[in-house]
Structure 1
Amino acid sequence: MSIYVGNLSYQATEDDVLTVFSEYGTVKRVQLPTDRETGRMRGFGFVEMSSDKEEDAAIEALDGAEWMGRDLKVNKARPRTPR
């Protein structure tokens, strides 16, 4: 399972997100999608952690928390729906 992280600052990097989430456990992967046209980050991302317990702890602590001037939206990622 992975975690959805919304309302990220456009200046945030994968290393920044990794640092924040690693306080709650082992981070396996951080993915920050970019816009195809501009190459700029899209303001959200996904984090995979090594266990559900660690993911739950990160969600509990970071949902609604202010980081880099923005209030984060953090929850379990839903499966992608086909267009």
Structure 2
Amino acid sequence: MTKLFVGGLPYSTTTDELRQMFTGFGSVLSAAIITDKFTGQSKGFGFVEMESDEEAQKAIQELNGTNMDGRTIGVSVARPKEDRPRDGGGFNRGGGFGGGGFDRGGRDSRGGGRGGRR
């Protein structure tokens, strides 16, 4: 079994359409479009699991770099999370751990002040 990453998808692409794109190359075990957890809208990428490495390689050769509704899609073997390079940008950019924690702490201290006025 080989898991493929499919990027650059039109935001209107459905899971069924993604599955159909790959069925011509072999047995598709699963297909998923990744969506925003708050809005439910597509993030423009997804994953497809093919039964064999050969089928996956054929799909990559045929589909990578092709045009779909005006967007160039990229198809490659998906890398496990632990194998992806960690540039830290996603964590440091928004201050999610440090800044967010301190902000929440600030609200807590103001909340404590309100308690003292009772």
TM-score by length of 2: 0.67
2:32 matched residue in structure 1? 31
For residue 35 of structure 2, give the secondary structure of its aligned residue in structure 1.
coil
Amino acid at match of 1:4: F
Offset, 1:68 = 2.1
For residue 30 of structure 1, give the secondary structure of its aligned residue in structure 2.
strand
1:63 matched residue in structure 2? 64
Alignment gaps of 5+ in structure 2: 92-118
For residue 24 of structure 1, give the secondary structure of its aligned residue in structure 2.
coil
Amino acid at match of 1:21: F
Amino acid at match of 2:25: Y
Size of the alignment, in residue pairs?
Answer: 83
Which of 1 and 2 has greater Rg? Answer: 2
2:6 matched residue in structure 1? 5
**2: CA distance, partners of 1:44 / 1:3:** 11
Runs (4+) off by over 4 Å = none
**2: CA distance, partners of 1:72 / 1:46:** 12
**Cα-Cα RMSD:** 1.4
For residue 33 of structure 1, give the secondary structure of its aligned residue in structure 2.
strand
Offset, 1:76 = 0.5
Offset, 1:67 = 1.3
Alignment gaps of 5+ in structure 1: none
**2: CA distance, partners of 1:40 / 1:53:** 32
TM-score by length of 1: 0.93
Offset, 1:79 = 0.5
**1: CA distance, partners of 2:27 / 2:69:** 22
The structure where helix makes up a greater share of residues is 2
2:110 matched residue in structure 1? none
Identity of aligned residues (%): 40
